Each structure stands twice: as structure tokens, then as C-alpha cells.
Structure 1
Amino acid sequence: MLSNDAGFDQIYILCGYTDLRKGIDGLSALVEQKFNLNPFQNVLFLFCGRRTDRIKGLVWQGDGFLMMYKRLENGNYQWPRNEESARNISIQEFRWLTEGLTIDPKKKVKKSSPKRSV
């Protein structure tokens, strides 16, 4: 389910640390109260605790919430910890995250213009 990203309108990750002992009610309240987002949409919300080998996902399915939990056996998620905000990510960034890659590039290629015309 977490790798099937085609069914979601948007994907949000909650940066920083989340207490993964929270259940559906606690996580949906966190989305609504702390981040001012509507949890009753076709949006996947992803949470990560202090241990970066597990994440939880929450999505509204029209008649109730679906909560997903994934624990990696080997490796860790490269979760953004530098801010406490909800961050809208692209499908490509979602794939990178689930593959253990970072979604924050360390160095970007600078665009340049030609120095002389040929």
C-alpha cells in the first residue's frame, strides 16, 4: 500500500519527530490542530518517530481512516528533522524516501549561461 502512490491526491510528511505510539485519533488530531490541514481528504500523511527505521501513514478512505505501519529490517529512512512542519512532497520524492534516499539534496547543479556564442 505504501508503494502504491497513484491513489493519493497529495502526500505530506510531518517533519521532525512524531510519537508513533499515537493511534488514528491522535495522528488525525495532530494533522488538524498542529498543522492546520484537513485529514479527511484523499491525502497520505506520513509520520516518523525517533527511530528512523519505521514510519506510519494515515489516509482517509471516505468511510474511515486507514493507518499503515512499516518497519525496515535493514536500513533507515532519511527523514527531514530540521523543521517541525508539514511538507508536501512529490511522487518522486515519496519514492526516494521509501527507497532510503534523502529528499533534501545536499548540492544542486547551478544553472549557467554560455560565456560566448558560437
Structure 2
Amino acid sequence: MLQTVTGRALVYLHREPIDFRAGINSLAVLVQETMALDPFAAAIFAFCNRRRDRMKLLFFDRSGFVLVLKRLTEDKFRWPRREAAVVTLTTEQLHWILDGIDIDAMVRHPVRQYQVAG
């Protein structure tokens, strides 16, 4: 099942916290109505609670929905601080968030352009 999650191209993060009593059906409706996305799309939908110590991932896997829950015992997820209600990430960025990395604080090193001496 983890290969299914990592093989997906896009992750849609619901930026605002949700009521964590929500199950698969409620989250699928939230994806469709609030996020204006297709819950059956080949994507992962990520949600976090108010305390930022729990994350739910929802995705459709050929024959049905899969709901994954991760609960941190001592830390909090570094949820992106963006203006958009829905944040689009790569699966790599999702893994960074799951590993406790603040992706908003990451700075990419400058790409240098080299010319070959002729």
C-alpha cells in the first residue's frame, strides 16, 4: 500500500485544521465541495488536526478509498503557512512533512550555470 502512496504525482493539502472525527465519506465530501477537487483522482489528500499532532491521508486505490492516520507522540507537524486554502505538493514534500521538516523554511541553493571552455 505504501508504494501506491509514493507512486502518486500530486498531494493536495487542506491548509485549515479539520475535525478529526471525520471519516472517509466526510473527507471525500470535503475534497469535492471545499477543495473543489475530485476525490477519485490519482492524488493524495492530506488533512491535519488543530494541534498539528495528527495527519490523515486519503486516496482512492483502484477498488476503494484508503485512509491513513499518523499520530505524533511528542512533536507537531510543520504545516505549510501559505495563503491558499489548498496547497499542492509533491510526494517528496509530503514525506518531508511526515518526517518533521518545515518545507516553508527550506531554501534551495542557487543553480549555477557553467560554460564549457571550447
TM-score (norm 1): 0.79
Amino acid at match of 2:76: N
1:37-88 per-position Cα deviation (integer Å, ceiling 9, x unaligned): 0000221101001021110110001221111111012211001355461111
Taking the aligned partners of 1:20 and 1:84, their CA distance within structure 2 comes to 21
1:96 match: 96
1:50-69 mapped onto 2 (5 Å cutoff): 50-69=50-69
Taking the aligned partners of 1:65 and 1:88, their CA distance within structure 2 comes to 20
Q: CA RMSD in A?
A: 2.4
Amino acid at match of 1:54: R
**1:103 Cα offset (Å):** 1.5
Amino acid at match of 1:7: G
Amino acid at match of 2:102: T
Aligned residue pair count: 113
1:86 match: 86
TM-score (norm 2): 0.79
1:44-55 mapped onto 2 (5 Å cutoff): 44-55=44-55
Unaligned runs of 5+ in 1: 112-118
2:35 match: 35
1:4-24 per-position Cα deviation (integer Å, ceiling 9, x unaligned): 743213111111211111111
2:13 match: 13
The 3-state SS of whatever aligns with 2:44 is strand
Q: Percent of aligned positions with the same letter in both sequences? A: 32
Unaligned runs of 5+ in 2: 112-118
